[in-house]
């Protein structure tokens, strides 16, 4: 039997790498993409391959249409199939600025990368998945959108990021509704405060907040927390839960008195 194939965007660092590692442990062959040249991620790719998986690395800016097309074509050429798409790649604003000061340029850059790119990558990947389903009724696959608690938790010094993640949440609902007739589930995984290079600059701030009770589980999240959630979805452990949100936030958004 051919091994199942997953794409993980932004899959060479942070949460994306945690997802890629979890899928590799579950026996998926992988295509991971990122912004760095291949030589810069060679060690990471070797570590994934050591888990027993076939790994293709494709440099890809998901905000660029041609780069997205190239990504999917390379997957077709290498593996000939696609079973799981994990839309994980995302950026924070280059500068955290108050809503009254933030620029349109920052808004456009974040929205293109975090929302527009994944939305249209999903469109093309979904067409391919539908083709596979129509050719083989036993084929099963899914789409997983990695968003953030910022989809619902307001941060007034990075409004463009919050809006992009809220858009990803609606995109999950839209694609799950559209692909329901083909039994292709679409999920959203919503991490909380997670220790990555993106959050390294605010470590001291969140160390204190977590110690003071920000989360019910008083620790930082780690990429493997999100990875394990995505792996369960990719395996098909939640086949009747399309459109749903899996919270991976240690209880941060749990209403409390």
Q: Which residues have a catalytic role annotated?
A: 148, 161, 165
The percent helix, strand, coil of the chain (3-state, each to 5) is 50, 15, 35
CB 121 within 8 A of CB 85: yes
- Of the candidates 92, 90, 88, 197, which has an alpha carbon nearest to the alpha carbon of residue 146? 88
Strand partners, 186: 143
b/e per residue 153-173 (b: at least 16 CB within 10 A):
eeeeebbbbbbbbbbbbebbe
């Amino acid at each position: 039997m051919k091994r199942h194939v997953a794409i993980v965007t932004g899959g060479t660092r942070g949460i994306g790498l945690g997802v890629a590692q979890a899928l590799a442990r579950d026996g998926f062959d992988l295509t991971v993409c990122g912004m760095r040249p291949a030589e810069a991620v060679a060690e990471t790719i070797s570590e994934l391959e050591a888990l027993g998986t076939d790994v293709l690395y494709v440099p890809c800016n998901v905000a660029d249409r041609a780069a997205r097309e190239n990504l999917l074509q390379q997957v077709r050429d290498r593996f000939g199939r696609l079973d799981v798409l994990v839309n994980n790649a995302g950026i924070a604003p280059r500068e955290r600025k108050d809503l009254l000061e933030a620029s349109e340029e920052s808004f456009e850059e974040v929205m293109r990368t975090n929302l527009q790119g994944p939305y249209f990558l999903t469109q093309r990947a979904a067409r391919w998945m539908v083709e596979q389903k129509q050719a083989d009724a036993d084929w099963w696959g899914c789409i997983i959108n990695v968003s953030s608690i910022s989809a619902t938790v307001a941060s007034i010094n990075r409004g463009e990021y919050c809006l992009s993640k809220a858009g990803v949440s609606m995109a999950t609902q839209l694609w799950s509704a559209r692909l329901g007739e083909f039994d292709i589930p679409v999920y959203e995984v919503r991490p909380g405060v997670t220790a990555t290079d993106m959050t390294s600059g605010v470590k001291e701030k969140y160390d204190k907040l977590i110690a003071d009770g920000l989360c019910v589980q008083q620790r930082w999240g780690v990429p493997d927390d999100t990875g394990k959630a995505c792996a369960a979805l990719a395996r098909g452990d939640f086949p009747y839960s399309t459109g749903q949100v899996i919270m991976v936030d240690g209880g941060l958004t749990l209403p409390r008195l």
